[in-house]
Structure 1
Amino acid sequence: MRLVALSLILAAFTGLSAADLQTDVCIYGATPGGVAAALSAARSGSEVVLVEPTARIGGLLTSGLSHTDFHSLESLTGSFLEFSQKVKAYYVKTYGADSEQVKACFEGTFGEPKVNLLILEQMLAGESRIQIHRGAALEKVEKEGTQIGAIHFKGLSVHAKVFVDGSYEGDLLAKAGVSYHVGREGRDDYGESLAPEKGDSQLQAYNFRFCATDDSANRVPIAAPAGYKREDFLPVLDFLKPGEIERVFGYPSKCIVKAQTPALPNHKYDLNDVSRGLVRLSMPGHNLGWPEGDAAARQAIFAEHLRYNVGLLYFLINDEAVPAHIQEPARAWGWCKDEFTETDHLPPQLYVREARRMTGEHIYVQQDSEHAAGDARAKLFTDSIAMGDYGNNCHGTSHEGPQIGGKHGGELYNPVPPYQIPYGALVPKAAECTNLLVPVALSSSHVGFCALRLEPIWMSLGQATGHAAALAAKSGQSVQDVPVPKLQTLLWADHSATLYVADVPPGHTLFTAVQWWGTAGGLHGLNPMPAKLGQRGKNLHGQYYEANPGHAVELDKALDDATRTRWLELAQKLGVPTSTLTQTKTRGGFIEKAFTAAKP
């Protein structure tokens, strides 16, 4: 209400129409990254307009991607941790602390789509400085020199000091004239071993993330999609043999779709493409027109993916040619009656894994998420504004042979330690735009992007973006000149980590001190590179593990002479008085005293 009233007052004095909004920060795209940016910008004191081109906020987090991608719970901080804790609290309040639903939600990271949507809506509604506009697709960007002045939609214009492109596609950055890349770079471009020999226009494949159930009380039959043709799916019969594909819904292999386990609360399943599977939901090559496509082109690609993804499941469940041992168990499955009720129980968004990628001040590449020399930790970024724990992951960029059969190309899965992301990956080149930040289609190579394209990481990047946007809006500085140390201090106060630390979580009394010291380089060199690169902790289930080994501070551990010497040198480099540090006995004692002396 406050922002609406302000816009009406401004209209009276500036000649703007009621559909012309004036604000501090305007965010286009209410993806998880866009939502997190809106929350942190508002909490930093900025008035925010959040514009979403569809009717539903939350991107894939509310459109079927419920088994969120991360490896260890210790990597979840900031906005995503706040979100997941609220999801868990919802299940506790609704079903009881000892309920199966609370157990199934896996600390709130496995929320039902409708619950994820509810929580994100509540988080946004709790901030009076945020105004949301839905169903407004970007039409035009008004720019003078390196400054965006306004962005225009049908019936709506937003004038702001700072803009954020929160879209999966990078639509705002493209219309603003910011450099970007679509496709894969060649191996020699950035020296990436996982890149192809030569660059090309290939994109990581898309598919839907369906929400399904085998609970008869909440099951809706899977209907044939528009344009369904039985003959398109007959080739799948050749793969329904013992030892090849043994079931339609399963995990992790010998199935048509991954029904990811354990189940979500209320016996629902997040369905996804089977990595390296014989029959795939993902459709490499069929998405190439998406990044640059207009609404009609994207709708055609959406419909093609829907026709194939849903049609394949409909065929397997209903066609008489499917062997009984495959079909009978599959008939127990269907869509969830209480999910996506506005769109016939189908996700309203396609899983756009990759589209445009900005070419900004820092291009994040493969080497940025790999081990530092001889170290358990990844490459150090002292200007880090977010971190992640996953790895370079690509479901394929090409396909040889027919859609059903053949083999995906360009598939990669690169195990790495938890990694940092520098501020420069969010920022365009200064010569191109000085008041735009990009947390989702951020600056990276194809291979580098494959380590960044996870919803928890995007929320951390969005959180950093929102605070940076607020700093720039308040000071009048360009986004390139936002003081990163000040931004980092805001992030730590907001419980967002810039470095993975296994044993000092947000809320710990020394969280900020440890993040400051570690991001300065103090925690590198404590443990050697493991024999197995990207070594993870003990497996919990699926892709989820205990804390990453070699990444604990061990605050109570005695400070050995070698570490003390190295830490004293770092303290001097940081301008921290060392007189009170020489007699500290433990790692925690040293970090606490150094932090107090530095007063960062």
Structure 2
Amino acid sequence: NNKRGGVQVHYAHRIVTARKNRGSIQSITLESYSPDKKATRLVNAKMFLDCTYEGDLMARAGVSYTVGREDNQTYGETYNGVQLLDKHQFVDGVDPYKIPGDPKSGLLWGISPAALQPIGSGNKQVQTYNFRLCLSSNPANMIPITKPAGYDSTRYELLLRAIEKNPKLQFNTILSPDRMPNQKTDINNSGPFSTDMIGMNYEYPDGSYDRRADIQRQHELYTKGLLYFIGHDPRMRPDIRAEMLKLGYPKDEYTDNGNWSPQMYVREARRLVGAYVMTQANCQGRTTVTDGVGMAAYTMDSHNCQRIVIEKNGMKMVKNEGDVQIGGFPPYPISYRCLIPKVGECENLLVPVCLSASHIAYGSIRMEPVFMVLAQSSAVAACLAIDAKTSVQAVDVKQVQAELKTNPLADGSTPEILVDNDDADHVTRTGNWTRENNPKGAYGPSYFTANGADQAVKSVRFSPAITTVGTYQIYVYFPKFAEASGQTTLIVSDGSQARIILVREADIRVEGQTSGEWVSLGAFSLSPGKANYVDVSTKDANGVVVADAVLFVPAAR
């Protein structure tokens, strides 16, 4: 918070140059790109953090970085490089030519003439970008989707062919409109032809600001054209058209940018090649670092990188290449060393976003909450380096970890207390509970389940280590669970008295892509040394009860 920290924030600026001396950045020059104010600003500092999606300071500082996909052999991986898999893919037999069956007619828009390279081979192709779309289904808050300037319906011919070849494709599998509060959506890419503008972003990572702006404009035109095409082209299947016409641009969002997001989804651009490189082995737990300063918890995920023609059973057909979705592993630590350059390259730079990871490992790390954690960890390390008058490479990582643990909010306030079901020191079970490993929707690597239909009452007790007397808001995490009991009995004790709370499944609202919901149990006065606890019980349950995590949030911050 810039007000709490007294930080002066300068918006609408971007880096022009970085001046280094003896292995350290001395200053950077920024330019304003506000239309009504062109000016430069010189910034001198002891430490620098590059938190951009593109790694622009990192590149100008002259440290090692890479773009694209490594060969599998580079880091002993199996899901890097070229991958022709089955997700977000065309079914067999979709003709790639303008005139079906006639190669001389040329390829449809969006298909590359490049040949498929060996599986696992590396190249400089970048996983595709798109816009995450906030649309509205509320007629009173909706701006109709109209034909954008520069619209070309031939760009979307492949979508018609994909639907014709695979009638199972529906509106919800073409645009994936996750429902959000206030009758709005979060629409992401879905299926063989969607909002991802495949193969059109290769020049973006190292491109000039003008070139990047042009690429973003092309993505915007493509996406607005796609929405218009789905809703208005007479060749589109009527049921799909009808669903599209229920949505429009929201009147109350992005009001200073034509009701359109100003931020293109730059999934991956430059990546530091630093003191340590996170790889597939880290994601899957074959290698675990001890200098972790954040946790990653997403699948190894890459969107497609190119759209090409292959031959199968003597037939030419279009396929997407590059999509990878491999999960099934628990959260894992991210090394401090992947945030810093190699020794000798730069002593006062940390890179928490375009960090040092292989393409496929970056696909697991690249979530905004993780970037936020790594940025805070980087800031802590930068402060320690300043205080010790040393380099970021010489920082004692144990000090960073200790500061993050004891002062997680960075302001000295009493931190939240999270008790997860895997916390053996603070969780006890009564009765027969099953530990479900890596289930979808769990908070952390697992949760406990018990059948409430059994006569014997079973419970899981979550006992927080309260160190500061005060009032705490208590929340219990409920993951999405098809067989969940219609009600769950919870018992909250403040050490003096116990209170029974009944949570009904029907009252828990889980919206959008959220995997579960924190349900408030209310505010309770808790003190150190007392028997403070929350019991999750099967009493009066009529289905499966899940015990996952409990959060204690100090009311006074």
Q: TM-score range by the shorter chain?
A: 0.5 to 0.7
Q: 1:206 and 1:507, CA in 2 relative to 1: closer, same or farther beyond 3 A?
A: same
Q: Quick one: which of 419, 437, 452 aligns to 2:332?
A: 419
Q: Distance in 2 between matches of 1:245 and 1:506?
A: 49
> Which SS does the other structure have where 1:485 is aligned?
helix
**Does 2:188 correspond to 1:188?**
no
The one of 523, 527, 536 equivalent to 2:438 is 536
State whether residues 68 and 359 of structure 2, in contact with CA within 8 Å, keep that contact through their aligned partners in structure 1.
yes
| CA 1:213–1:242: 2 relative to 1, 3 Å | farther
Matched, 1:476 2:381: no
Deviations 1:124-183 (A, max 9, x none): 33321x111111111111111201000002320100000010011111010000000111
Q: Is the 8 A contact 2:341 2:349 kept in 1?
A: yes
Alignment of 1:257 with 2:197, yes or no, is no
Q: Distance in 2 between matches of 1:311 and 1:221?
A: 13
Unmatched 5+ stretches in structure 2: 32-39, 82-119, 311-316, 426-434, 450-459, 464-557
Determine the C-alpha separation between the residues in 1 that align with 2:149 and 2:347.
45
- In structure 1, distance between residues paired with 2:201 and 2:222: 13
Equivalent position SS for 2:131? coil
> Is 1:406 paired with 2:318?
yes
Q: Give yes or no for the alignment of 1:334 onto 2:260.
A: no
- Quote the sequence identity (%): 34
- Matched residues in 1 for 2:269 and 2:461: separation? 41
Residue of structure 1 in register with 2:490 after alignment:
none
Show the 5 A alignment for 1:196-207: 196=81, 197-207=120-130
Amino acid across the alignment from 1:266: N
Q: Please report how far the alpha carbon of residue 550 of structure 1 lies from its aligned counterpart in structure 2 after TM superposition.
A: 7.7
CA distance in 2: counterparts of 1:295 and 1:226, whole angstroms: 23
**Are 1:147 and 2:34 matched, yes or no?**
no
User: Is the counterpart of residue 267 in structure 1 residue 179 in structure 2?
Assistant: no
Q: Quick one: distance in 1 between partners of 2:275 and 2:447?
A: 31
Q: Alignment partner for residue 293 of structure 2, among 385, 410, 417?
A: 385
* 2:540 aligned residue: none
CA deviation after TM superposition for structure 1 residue 508, in Å: 2.9
Q: What residue identity is the alignment partner of 2:188?
A: N
- Secondary structure at the aligned position of 2:249 is classed as strand
Paired amino acid for 1:206: Y
Range with bigger deviation, 140-149 or 487-496: 487-496
Partner SS, residue 13 of structure 2: coil
Contact 2:158 2:193 in 1 (8 A): no
CA shift in 2, pair 1:401/1:343, >3 Å: farther
Partners of 1:140 and 1:152 within 8 A in 2: yes
Note if 1:305 corresponds to 2:195: no
Alignment of 1:276-291 (within 5 A): 277-291=191-205
TM-score, reference length from structure 1: 0.60
Amino acid at match of 1:459: M
Matched, 1:126 2:40: no
5 Å-filtered alignment, 1:23-62, equals none
Paired amino acid for 1:339 = E
Deviations 1:315-374 (A, max 9, x none): 1112233232221222110111111111111110111111100011011111011134xx
Q: What residue identity is the alignment partner of 2:294?
A: A
Write 1 or 2 for the structure with the bigger share of helix: 1
SS in 2 for 1:161: coil
Separation of aligned partners in 2, 1:173 and 1:554: 48
Cα RMSD after superposing both structures: 3.0
1:219, distance to aligned residue in structure 2 (A): 0.9
Partner of 1:244: 167
1:64-463 correspondence runs (5 A)? 123-128=1-6, 130-154=7-31, 155-196=40-81, 197-241=120-164, 244=167, 246-248=169-171, 250=172, 255-260=173-178, 263-274=179-190, 277-372=191-286, 379-401=287-309, 406-415=318-327, 416-463=329-376
How much has 1:406 moved relative to structure 2?
2.9
Cα deviation for residue 291 of structure 1 reads: 0.6
Whole-angstrom distance in 2 between the partners of 1:326 and 1:177: 50
Structure showing greater radius of gyration is: 2
Q: In the aligned structure 1, how far is the partner of 2:165 from the partner of 2:202?
A: 35
* Matched AA of 1:328: A
1:545 to 438, 442, 445: 442
Change (3 A) 1:545 1:299: same
Cα deviation code 1:181-228 (max 9, x no counterpart) = 111111111101112332211111111111012111111112323311
Rounded to whole Å, the distance in 2 between the matches of 1:470 and 1:410 is 40
Q: Is the 8 A contact 1:536 1:546 kept in 2?
A: no
**Matches of 2:390 and 2:149, distance apart in 1:** 51
Structure with more relative contact order (C-alpha pairs < 8 Å, separation 6 or more) = 1
Deviation string 1:432-491 (CA, Å, 9 cap, x unpaired) is: 100000000001111111111111111111110111112122322101111111111111
Secondary structure in 1 matching 2:220: helix
Q: Within 1, Cα distance between the matches of 2:197 and 2:397? A: 40
Distance in 2, Cα, partners of 1:221 & 1:174: 42
1:219/1:272 CA distance change after superposition, 3 Å: same
| Alignment correspondent of 1:494 | 407
Change (3 A) 1:239 1:398: closer
What does the per-residue CA deviation read over 1:50-81, in whole Å, with 9 as the maximum and x for residues that have no partner? xxxxxxxxxxxxxxxxxxxxxxxxxxxxxxxx
Give the 5 Å matches for 1:512-527. Answer: none
Contact 1:138 1:152 in 2 (8 A): yes
Counterpart residue number, 2:416:
507
Residues 239 and 245 in structure 1, CA contact (< 8 A), matched pair in contact too: no
Q: Is the 8 A contact 1:386 1:496 kept in 2?
A: no
SS at match of 2:334: strand
Shift of 1:284: 2.8
CA shift digits 1:390-422 (9 cap, x unpaired): 1211112222149xx932212111112111101
**What residue is the counterpart of 1:501 in the other structure?**
none
Q: 1:446 to 1:496 in 2, by over 3 A?
A: farther
**Structure 1 residue 509: deviation in Å?**
8.7
- Greater per-residue strand proportion: 2
One-letter amino acid of the structure 2 residue matched with residue 145 of structure 1: R
Cα distance change, pair 510–273 in 1 and its aligned pair in 2 (3 A): closer
Instruction: State the AA in 1 paired with 2:215.
Output: I
Pair 1:329–1:410, CA change in 2 (3 A)? closer
- Which secondary structure state, in structure 2, belongs to the residue aligned with residue 406 of structure 1? strand
Q: How many Å apart are 1:288 and its aligned residue? A: 0.5
Residues 510, 493 of structure 1: CA spacing in aligned structure 2 closer, same or farther, 3 A cutoff?
Answer: farther
Q: Is contact 1:460–1:496 with CA below 8 Å preserved after alignment?
A: no
Q: State the distance in 2 between where 1:332 and 1:508 align.
A: 43
